[in-house]
Structure 1
Amino acid sequence: MGRAFNIFTAVFCSIGSFLFGYDSGIIASVITFPAFKAFIGHPENYDSLSGAVVSTFTGGCFFGAALAGWTNDKLGRKRSIQLGAVIALWGCAMQGGANNFACMLVGRIVAGFAIGVLSMTVPLYNTEIAPPKIRGFIVGLAQQMIGIGFIVANWVGYGCQYLEGNQGWRLSLGLQLVPAFLLLVGIQFLPNSPRWLLEQGRDDEARAVVLRLHGGATPEARADADAEFVEMQGVIHAEASARSRNLSDLWETRAMLKRTLVAVGVQVFGQFSGINVINYFGPSMYQALGLSPGQSLLVQGIYGAVGPITNFFFITLILDTVGRKKPLMFGAGSFVVTYSVLTAIVACFPPVVDGVANTHTSAQRAGIAMIFMTSIFFSVSFGPVSWVLASEVFPTRTRSIGTSVATCANWAFNILFSQVSNLAINNVSWRYYLLFICLNAIDFVVIALFFPETKGKSLEEMAEIFGDETALPEVHDQHSDHKVEVEKA
């Protein structure tokens, strides 16, 4: 019962990740709609203006993730998620009802701010309620819901292209209001993070939440819950005296600097995979292979289903067995191969030769296959692992601010790629993909040499991996009543 409640809580909380996936996916379709192009105007500058539509959203995400470090400490994980949902309702309503380009950009910024809060808080919350043995699966559900958001967005976009006038893009963007409202209302019925409650001195509430998460109907479950609670309580109370909430805490010791570099590194390397270039500008990439706009949207819809299916089997069957480091190395190495092949295809078979469209179907299929393979490899590597690793490496006293900084790094590079990618694809074509070959080759070496393995460890045991002085409390187990107490000096 405890595991089922853990999973339900994580899935519902991850509606925030669904919003992230839906918005990222739907904009790739919307910017190809003729009615949206007419709404934006200035066809001679449309590539840069559509890039602004995407990058203003990611810019909002950056600042939302930055603020979330503070709100998670002050308000808690639940209230931060509710705050994100409220802001999402505001931003999505502005996008769907925009009457000019400026209103659209403001709506994108506001919605992005909300997604920034949610993208940082959802993995953090899921990390703190998950038992160590299935933490990879629980936190990986955030990536699963991002993928499902992409699936829904791609098919909504494909269907809405047939609506007349502005109805298509307005409906596509306005549908985001539904999951935002569900999250706002439903999160109220989920428990607070027990670790945050302990930080606030609300120990009895924290114990009750841990017992609930363990499904404490049996003596064994109650004993396990008490043991986890005592370990959690001892470490968090010991850290409380050193808590300062200063950004400099993230590099004050060699061990903390390593934690920060690993968390930031895994998030940035996830962007180096180029996955969001495909997510945002996939239709443009398919058109560069010679497909028509309608065919490009159809292929993007099919593409959106590949990653989530792969991700589900990976987080369910593999992630908590093989760990974090090996999948990351596999992903980086695989991207070098897929982008190398894609570069060769686009270079040898350009979409237009001497004014005549390329109809080399074998080359088109091979190029599409490489893009699909990139999604598959991302879903068994950086997709789920980046969220798991970035949120689990920090001690409780710096987990909020550390996860916030790592997520901000993710969004900073997301902004960069979202702004330049459409221009690069249209102007330098295959040469742009050379960048991703080089970046992922570097990632592979860095991960192999410097990233630790963290699977199966409790959040309080991460000190052993990163070289801190271990400060776990000594525990005395009274078997007669299954109570566990910390021995006091």
Structure 2
Amino acid sequence: MGVIFNTFIAAFSSIGTMFDGSSGIIASVLTMSRFEARFSANPSIQGAIVSTFSGGCFFGAAVAGWLNDRYGRKRTIQFGASIILWGCAMQTGAHNTATLIVGRIVAGFAIGILSMTVPLYNTEIAPPKIRGFLVGLTQECIGVGFLVANWVGYGCQFIDSDASWRLPLGLQLLPAGLLLIGIQFLPYSPRWLLEVGRDKEARRVVSLIHQTKGSIEAEEAAEQEYNEMHDTIKAEILVRSRKISDLWATHAMMKRTLISCAVQIFTQFTGINIISYFGPLMWQSLGMTGGKALLMQGIYGVVGPIATLIFILSVVDRVGRKKPLIFGAATFVATFSIVAAILATNPVSDVSTKPADPGAQIAGIAMIFLTNIVFSASFGPVSWVLASEVFPTSTRSIGTSVATCCNWAFNTMLSQVSPIGLNNIGYKFYLVFVCFNFVNLIVIVKFFPETKGKTLEEMADVFGDSISNAQKTELETENKIMDESDNYAS
């Protein structure tokens, strides 16, 4: 029952990250004739509608660290869900471009908060043996969000009224409302409770997560985990300063911060978002148009969530984090090289004058699908797991916030420069990602540690910044005095 309960908590809280995927519904909406008539078909305006969302995400992730430390993970998720309701309502009811763009910024701000907080919350409530699976549900929900967005947008385009674009934007209100109400009934993070001095509540949450009722073994495991996190967190509080400079104050903290930020940046450098965004153009370059292109795009959206689910269920907590990242980076070097070669020999401009080569068509489809599958079983879920689990409790919120900001900053940058690059140098632009992934591979092999199976408190041993003996002795003395006082009072 403990695993089932933990999975339910992580899966329900991850509803918030579905908006990261469902935000992709704007891609379908932009092409609808009713939407273009209401707003504009001007590429610059449509570009602003898309890019302002990512900007909002960046600022949301930036303030989420402070919100998590001040109000906790659970309340921050509630806050993000309420802001999503506001932003989606503005988009759904928009009658001019300004209102739509402001709604996009507001919704992006909220998703920035949730994209940082949900993995953090799941990291802190997850047992070490299944932490990869539980935090990996973040990527699973993002994939499901993209899948639902693609098909809802496709179905709604046949509606001959403004409902064609208002309905898909408005449907985002349903999961937001569910998250806002439902998160109230989930437990607080026990580690945050210990930080703010609510020790008895933290003990109850640990017992609840372990489902200790009627099981001596579970009670012992819960007690051991609670004591370990209690002693470590209380010792960290003695030296905590809550400054962003803490992220590079020591060599060990600098390494934690660089790895957390690097895995998020490297995820953008894989080029998966470029493949997804320009998927229809790639199908066209391979000679697939009309219904065939739509079918391929729909299937493409399905394979990602399936690959992620298999990976987080069977691989990430057995094989670890580092090996999938190495495999992913090496595979992307090969797939992007092949994709570039195929596009070089099958340029888009030639599709109308000569049929696509069947062999190149099959190879291109295979490489695009392989890239999606490998990403969904490597960088996709692992980036969320690793970025939040490497930090100590005292800097976990702000550290995860900075790492998530890196994700959104490079997401925004690449989404802006990629159309320019593809327009100016065509297939050669994909060679940029060959180079990026080669650098990713070298850095991961040389500098990334393995963190699977470690408790969050044991990360100090991995990075070499364990709590000093003096701090532990001071804490043990305080605990002994408190125990003696309790015994005397009773």
Where on the TM-score scale, by shorter chain, does this alignment land: which range? over 0.9
> What residue is the counterpart of 2:451 in the other structure?
454
Indicate which of 133, 152, 169 corresponds to 1:137.
Answer: 133
> What residue is the counterpart of 1:339 in the other structure?
336
> What residue is the counterpart of 1:15 in the other structure?
15
> What residue is the counterpart of 1:194 in the other structure?
190
What are the Cα deviations for residues 202-241 of structure 1, in whole angstroms up to 9, with x where unaligned? 0000000000000011122111111110110001010112
- Runs of 4+ in structure 1 displaced over 6 angstroms? 472-475, 485-489
Distance in 1 (CA, whole Å) between partners of 2:61 and 2:299 is 30
Q: 1:364 to 1:465 in 2, by over 3 A?
A: same
Q: State the shift of 1:35 in Å.
A: 3.4
Gaps of 5+ in 1: 476-484
Alignment pair present for 1:419 and 2:416: yes
> What residue is the counterpart of 2:91 in the other structure?
95
> What residue is the counterpart of 2:487 in the other structure?
none
Indicate which of 41, 45, 49 corresponds to 2:45.
Answer: 49
Distance in 2 (CA, whole Å) between partners of 1:94 and 1:190 is 29
Alignment pair present for 1:213 and 2:209: yes
Q: TM-score, normalised by structure 2?
A: 0.92
After TM superposition, the structure 1 = structure 2 runs for residues 81-120 of structure 1, keeping only pairs within 5 Å, are: 81-120=77-116
Q: TM-score, normalised by structure 1?
A: 0.93
Q: 1:328 to 1:322 in 2, by over 3 A?
A: same
Indicate which of 321, 326, 329 corresponds to 1:324.
Answer: 321
Alignment pair present for 1:406 and 2:403: yes
Q: State the shift of 1:427 in Å.
A: 4.3
Q: State the shift of 1:486 in Å.
A: 6.8
What are the Cα deviations for residues 401-444 of structure 1, in whole angstroms up to 9, with x where unaligned? 00000000000001012223334334432122111111000000
> What residue is the counterpart of 1:482 in the other structure?
none
Distance in 2 (CA, whole Å) between partners of 1:191 and 1:426 is 50
Q: 1:417 to 1:297 in 2, by over 3 A?
A: farther
Alignment pair present for 1:309 and 2:306: yes
Residues 97-106 or 436-445, more deviating: 97-106
Please tell me the residue identity of whatever aligns with 1:8.
F
What are the Cα deviations for residues 259-297 of structure 1, in whole angstroms up to 9, with x where unaligned? 000000000000011122233343344334443365444
Residues 15-24 or 445-454, more deviating: 15-24
- Aligned partners of 2:61 and 2:109 also within 8 Å: yes
Distance in 1 (CA, whole Å) between partners of 2:91 and 2:393 is 37
Please give the root-mean-square deviation of Cα atoms over the aligned residues, in Å.
2.1
Residues 358-367 or 386-395, more deviating: 358-367
Q: 1:358 to 1:425 in 2, by over 3 A?
A: farther
Q: What SS class does the counterpart of residue 332 from structure 1 fall into? A: helix
Report the count of equivalent residues: 476
Alignment pair present for 1:36 and 2:35: yes
Q: State the shift of 1:355 in Å.
A: 6.3
Distance in 1 (CA, whole Å) between partners of 2:263 and 2:399 is 13
- Aligned partners of 1:158 and 1:298 also within 8 Å: no
Q: 1:398 to 1:117 in 2, by over 3 A?
A: same
Q: State the shift of 1:487 in Å.
A: 6.4
